[in-house]
């Protein structure tokens, strides 16, 4: 057959004849080849190789250095295929299964792999199942990458040096392992399912399953360093990133570091099923971020994403669900998407949730933002998590937090050292938090001496705290504790429109030039907190408490336009002279509207 010639633009030249279809199987009459390796060698760029499932294929590794489609699951050569059928490519633990590369580093290949089982591969370096080296675009469809092992990175798949891996349709990356037995080699053994580095990218749509993979070090499901990751799969069954483990490292589900962008988007109309959130569930790590660990990264965005049932076993302050170090992150709901996730009757329907995660025995929070992190948490529920000595949310040292339209409720805190709902600390650099139109309530604590919010500044640290539009409902002795040690400073810059116990004390803690208004020291009268319904009742002091405050062209106080469920705020429900905005996570809309929207 004619050989391809590299094109001037760096992409592989098209074949000199129209693309052909080659059949591989054990029928010598109907099949073109009995060996997949022979078919790959004989194919021209752009050809399609159809692989019959009437035999196993074990002549690995299969080396692909041209643009091809390898399509499995066919009943026989020239026959049909049921959608769920696959052909078995097994290395029987003797080699890697598939290698995709080109000797000319400027050539870019387009490779499609569909309806295949890629299994029992092993590599002494990276990529036990598949390795993609160079600026190639590889698409997987209806494929299982299972029971592979790498002593380097990427037990299932390794993607590097500018490659793009696409997961389209139902792809299952399961039971793979990245495990370097050399205890002194801390550079390998990451990415049990997928490892991505060197300017590469991974793009996974609805139907992707990354589950039950293990890394000795970081990233039980996905390890990404200087790599873009876009993931949009979730819902029931095994969809999403589930039950992976980082045995000695961080990021049980995802470990993300370096120059790249992490996007988990359950509202993406092209990649996701917008009726379901992205799911990161049941993952475990020894270090921080049982669900996700983000470090030294350019940016991360989590849209309609659920972090559920993840665990960190560390005793050193490692977060169970989400750990973010020196990065920019936004976690938010997308109210225009059709996704509705209501855990209990009357509960929030937001599809941005951090629920039922389990923290370690030390001062370990559920979520931690620290060391130069810029974080926004919008329209998010954080509930049902279990902690020992950690706060629920921890903001630390030269980091900034905006929390808005959020619900932090029903978390179980059993220790004595750290029992706050939100904890801010700074020992050398400025830290600031804006917490607004949020409900903190219903936490179960063995020791209730801790306030809702604690700000502790020591050495040369400085904390600035802005509180507005809050509902607080808990049996705690205080709303806020502002603590300073040595030359540290902790300043309450705003206390506006807050309902809960001991709120009048905030006026004494606020700076002399702070905005202090509408502090209601009263029970907020919530619907049914014992059953998880934290909406205000009719007549609650949280209803119609607040409005815009404008000083010339500047809006000094600006309530958000929607609540946690995406419902419009600013609808007066009591007498005409009242203000318009309810405080807390929910806008009370009246019994008829409430019934139409949620029941």
Q: What is the pLDDT of residues 77-117, one digit of tens each?
A: 999 999 999 999 999 999 999 999 999 999 999 999 999 99
φ, ψ (nearest 5 deg) of residue 271: -95, -35
SS3 state at 446 = coil
Q: How far apart are CA 163 and CA 138, in angstroms?
A: 8
Q: How far apart are CA 399 and CA 328, in angstroms?
A: 10
Best CA proximity match to 344, nearest among 307, 381, 309, 379? 381
Please name every residue paired with 215 in a beta bridge, in sequence order, or none if there are none: 178, 246
Complete DSSP assignment for 300-327: EEEESEEEES-EE--SSS--SSEEEESS
Q: How far apart are CA 295 and CA 257, in angstroms?
A: 5
Q: Which pair of structure tokens corresponds to residue 16?
A: 């000199």
Listed in order, strand segments (DSSP E) in 199-327 are 201-204, 208-211, 214-215, 222-225, 228-231, 240-242, 245-246, 254-265, 278-281, 284-285, 292-303, 305-308, 311-312, 322-325
Please name every residue paired with 98 in a beta bridge, in sequence order, or none if there are none: 62, 130
Question: What was the pLDDT predicted at 361?
Answer: 75
φ, ψ (nearest 5 deg) of residue 468: -155, 145
What are the residue ranges in the chain where pLDDT is below 70? 1-18, 182-187, 415-417, 445-448, 477, 573-578, 591-599
Q: What is the pLDDT of residues 200-259, one digit of tens each?
A: 999 999 999 999 999 999 999 999 999 999 999 999 999 999 999 999 999 999 999 999
Please name every residue paired with 454 in a beta bridge, in sequence order, or none if there are none: 423, 481
Q: How far apart are CA 434 and CA 436, in angstroms?
A: 6
Q: How far apart are CA 138 and CA 68, in angstroms?
A: 10
The answer to whether the bond into 61 is cis (omega within 30° of 0) is yes
The single-letter DSSP state of residue 43 is: P
Q: How far apart are CA 86 and CA 541, in angstroms?
A: 61
Q: How far apart are CA 403 and CA 259, in angstroms?
A: 25
Complete DSSP assignment for 382-438: EES-EESS--SEEEESS-EEEEES-EEE--EE--SS---SEEEEESSSEEEEEEES-
Q: From residue 238, give the alpha-carbon distance in Å to each of 63, 98, 155, 282, 324.
A: 31, 25, 19, 11, 26
Please name every residue paired with 274 in a beta bridge, in sequence order, or none if there are none: none
Q: From residue 193, give the alpha-carbon distance in Å to each of 104, 198, 204.
A: 28, 17, 13
Contact criterion met (CB below 8 Å) for 356 and 382 = no
Give the pairing of strands 130-133 and 157-160: parallel
Question: What was the pLDDT predicted at 379?
Answer: 98
Contact criterion met (CB below 8 Å) for 561 and 568 = yes
The single-letter DSSP state of residue 505 is: H
Give the pairing of strands 430-436 and 453-457: unpaired
Q: How far apart are CA 177 and CA 170, in angstroms?
A: 21
Best CA proximity match to 560, nearest among 583, 543, 538? 583
Q: From residue 547, give the alpha-carbon distance in Å to each of 434, 524, 525.
A: 18, 18, 20
**What proportions of the chain, in percent to the nearest 5, are helix, strand and coil?**
5, 45, 55
Q: How far apart are CA 362 and CA 161, in angstroms?
A: 39
Q: How far apart are CA 196 and CA 162, in angstroms?
A: 10
Q: Which pair of structure tokens corresponds to residue 313?
A: 């076993």
Contact criterion met (CB below 8 Å) for 176 and 192 = yes
Q: How far apart are CA 537 and CA 526, in angstroms?
A: 5
In which element (H, E) is residue 40 found? helix 36-42
Contact criterion met (CB below 8 Å) for 387 and 414 = yes
Q: Position of tokens 């580093």?
A: 105
418 burial via Cβ count (<10 Å: 0-12, 13-18, 19+): buried
Contact criterion met (CB below 8 Å) for 177 and 220 = no
Q: How far apart are CA 403 and CA 394, in angstroms?
A: 12
Question: What was the pLDDT predicted at 427?
Answer: 85
Q: Which pair of structure tokens corresponds to residue 306?
A: 């659920």
Question: What was the pLDDT predicted at 594?
Answer: 44
Residues 6+ apart with CB under 8 A from 595: none
Q: From residue 278, give the alpha-carbon distance in Å to each of 225, 239, 281, 300.
A: 21, 8, 10, 14
Residues 6+ apart with CB under 8 A from 446: 413, 414, 415, 416
**Domain residue spans in the chain?**
1-108, 340-599
């Amino acid at each position: 057959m004619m050989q391809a010639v590299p094109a001037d633009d760096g992409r592989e030249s098209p074949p000199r004849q129209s693309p052909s279809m080659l059949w591989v199987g054990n029928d010598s009459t109907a099949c073109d080849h009995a060996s997949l390796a022979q078919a790959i060698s004989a194919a021209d760029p752009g050809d399609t190789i159809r692989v019959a499932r009437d035999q196993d294929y074990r002549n690995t590794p299969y080396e692909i250095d041209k643009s091809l489609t390898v399509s499995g699951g066919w009943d026989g050569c020239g026959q049909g295929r049921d959608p769920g059928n696959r052909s078995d490519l097994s290395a029987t633990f003797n080699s890697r299964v598939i290698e995709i590369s080109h000797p000319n580093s400027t050539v870019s290949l387009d490779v499609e792999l569909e309806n295949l089982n890629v299994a029992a591969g092993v590599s002494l370096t990276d990529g036990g199942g598949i390795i993609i080296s160079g600026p190639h675009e590889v698409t997987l469809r209806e494929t299982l990458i299972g029971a592979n092992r790498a002593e380097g990175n990427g037990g299932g798949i390794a993607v590097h040096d500018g490659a793009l891996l696409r997961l389209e349709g139902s792809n299952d990356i399961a039971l793979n392992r990245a495990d370097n037995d050399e205890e002194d080699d801390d550079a390998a053994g990451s990415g049990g399912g997928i490892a991505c580095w060197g300017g590469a990218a991974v793009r996974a749509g609805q139907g992707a399953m990354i589950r039950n993979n293990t890394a000795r070090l970081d990233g039980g499901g996905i390890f990404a360093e200087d790599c873009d990751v876009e993931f949009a799969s979730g819902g029931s069954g095994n969809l999403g990133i589930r039950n992976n483990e980082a045995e000695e490292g961080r990021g049980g589900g995802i470990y993300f570091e370096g120059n790249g962008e992490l996007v988990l988007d359950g509202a993406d109309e092209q990649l996701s099923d917008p009726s379901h959130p992205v799911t990161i569930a049941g993952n475990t790590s020894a270090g921080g971020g049982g669900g996700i660990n983000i470090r030294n990264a350019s940016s991360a965005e989590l849209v309609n994403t659920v972090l559920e049932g993840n665990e960190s076993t560390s005793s050193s302050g490692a977060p169970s669900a989400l750990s973010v170090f020196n990065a920019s992150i936004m976690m938010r709901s997308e109210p225009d998407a059709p996704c509705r996730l209501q855990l209990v009757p009357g509960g929030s329907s937001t599809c941005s949730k951090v629920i039922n995660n389990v923290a370690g025995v030390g001062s370990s929070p559920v979520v931690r933002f620290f060391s130069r992190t810029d974080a926004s948490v919008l329209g998010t529920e954080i509930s049902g998590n279990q902690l020992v000595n950690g706060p629920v949310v921890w903001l630390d040292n030269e980091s900034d937090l905006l929390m808005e339209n959020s619900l932090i409720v029903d978390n179980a805190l059993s220790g004595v050292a750290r029992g706050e709902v939100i904890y801010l600390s700074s020992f050398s650099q400025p830290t600031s938090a804006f917490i607004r139109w949020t409900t903190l309530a219903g936490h179960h604590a063995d020791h209730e001496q801790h306030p809702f919010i604690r700000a502790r500044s020591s050495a040369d640290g400085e904390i600035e705290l802005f509180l507005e539009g809050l509902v607080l409902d808990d049996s705690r002795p205080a709303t806020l504790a502002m603590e300073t040690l040595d030359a540290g400073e902790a300043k309450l810059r705003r206390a506006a429109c807050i309902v809960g116990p001991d709120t009048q004390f905030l006026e004494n803690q606020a700076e002399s030039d702070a905005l202090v208004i509408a502090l209601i020291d009263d029970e907020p009268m919530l619907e049914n907190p014992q059953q998880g319904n934290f909406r205000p009742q009719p007549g609650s002091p949280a209803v119609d408490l607040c409005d815009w405050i404008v000083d010339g062209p500047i809006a000094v106080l600006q309530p958000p336009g929607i609540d946690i469920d995406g419902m419009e705020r600013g609808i007066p429900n009591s007498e005409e002279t009242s203000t318009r905005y309810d405080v807390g996570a929910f806008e009370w809309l009246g019994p008829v509207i409430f019934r139409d929207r949620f029941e």
